[in-house]
Amino acid sequence: MVRGLEHEFLFEQEYVEDVACADEVDQAILEELHFAGPYGILPKDIASRLKQYGLNPWNVTQRIRRMNKKLDRLIGQKAAEKVGKG
């Protein structure tokens, strides 16, 4: 039912953060994705911008996948999607 009405749902950023994020690192990743705009950003660029958390690109990718699975299960949408080859 949610998938059929997904065009009607507009979720606030705070709600998505509450549902998907496990800690402040996830919130920082979502902020970087939000500011990247429609063209997106690569995990290696996110890891380089968030050096204070000691992330590598693989950690960023795994955290995004975990958030996507959780959001897809709960509201039928993803936090981030692949654009093109990146």
Q: What's the whole-number mean pLDDT along residues 11-21? A: 72
Angle at 35 between CA 31 and CA 38, to 5 degrees: 125
In this prediction, residue 85 has a pLDDT band, given cuts at 50, 70 and 90, of low
Task: Give the integer Cα–Cα distance in Å for 82 and 51.
Answer: 23
Give percent above pLDDT 70 in the chain. Answer: 79
Sketch the domain layout of the chain as residue ranges: 6-75
Per-residue pLDDT of 36-75, as tens digits, reads: 887 888 999 999 999 999 999 999 999 999 998 998 887 7
Query: Tokens 């795994």 — which residue?
Result: 62
CB within 8 A of 74, min separation 6: which ones? 19
